[in-house]
Amino acid sequence: MDLAHRIETALETAMGRAAADPAPPKLKKALYHAVFPGGARVRPSLCLAVAGACGDDAPALSDAAAAAIELIHCASLVHDDLPCFDDADIRRGQPTVHRLYGEPLAVLVGDGLIVAAFETLAAAAGVKPLRLPELVAIVGRAVGSPYGLVAGQAWESERVADLSAYQQAKTGSLFVAATMAGAVAAGADPGPWRAMGEKLGEAYQVADDIRDAAADPAEIGKPVGCDALHDRPNAVARLGLAGALARLTGLLGEAADAVPPCRGEAMLRGLVMAQGQRLVPKGMVAAE
């Protein structure tokens, strides 16, 4: 089964459980709206790719880890779009959850997806239960405080932000979780996989800054120019567009170099470089 199919199937299983009876009808619809159709599913693809490179000896657990990470990502989008944060109308080309279903359900969908992520891990732990403590710890660290998405978003409520902690928590954390959880799900030591996740997270942040500054909103399915509007720190403001493109290429190379010795090492290096090109908006070419 290809990775994309495994991811969608795992997400369908998780959402089938969360949106089963007796869940309230609007909550069911809002949960599905938050997860399907997805974006590029970058993080769960990375998670499964790493699990595959490590042997993928418990595919159901790898699938659960990938789904958990995507559910956390979807939860963060729903909460970040709320009126008290970005007040966004559009996400992935569709109305945001709170625009369609109201603010109460958007808060609850975010909460419910976070919970569903941990339930998904626990439900798949049957075959290799001793891997669960570390998987829960890795996913928890990526979403909670002090290192995860919650902490990253909370830096936006501070007058002066710790820029490195902010960016690592806001974007880097889920990429690190993706590589490390992929390794743990396949029975490998997660430590050596941290650096690859960090570099990819940073690359993705730079790519996001480039898209926000220069992409066509119709292509990426959400408004652009938000960083400049909110005066948020970003790589384009700091390095210029060409500088940011060069930085992106550099980071992708560093991510490929950071792949630890493993069965699928060459495959994974190639994947990083190929996927990296997809991060650049159409019509642009990352500097060589």
121 binds its own copies (CB under 8 A): yes
With CB under 8 A as the contact rule, which of the stretches 5-13, 142-150, 229-237, 248-256 interacts with its own copies? 142-150
140 binds its own copies (CB under 8 A): yes
226 binds its own copies (CB under 8 A): no
82 binds its own copies (CB under 8 A): yes
Among 198, 199, 201, 220, smallest CA distance to 211 is for: 220
Shortest Å, Cβ 31 to its own copies: 7
22 binds its own copies (CB under 8 A): yes
| Interaction residues for its own copies, span 153-182 (CB under 8 A) | 153-158, 161-162, 165, 169
With CB under 8 A as the contact rule, which of the stretches 134-142, 198-206, 210-218, 268-276 interacts with its own copies? 134-142
With CB under 8 A as the contact rule, which of the stretches 57-65, 146-154, 171-179, 226-234 interacts with its own copies? 146-154
132 binds its own copies (CB under 8 A): yes
239 binds its own copies (CB under 8 A): no
With CB under 8 A as the contact rule, which of the stretches 118-126, 184-192, 250-258, 265-273 interacts with its own copies? 118-126
Residues that bind its own copies in the complex, under the rule CB under 8 A: 18-27, 31, 75, 79, 82, 84-85, 101-105, 107-108, 110-112, 114-116, 118-119, 121-123, 125-126, 129-130, 132-134, 136-137, 140-141, 143-148, 150-151, 153-158, 161-162, 165, 169
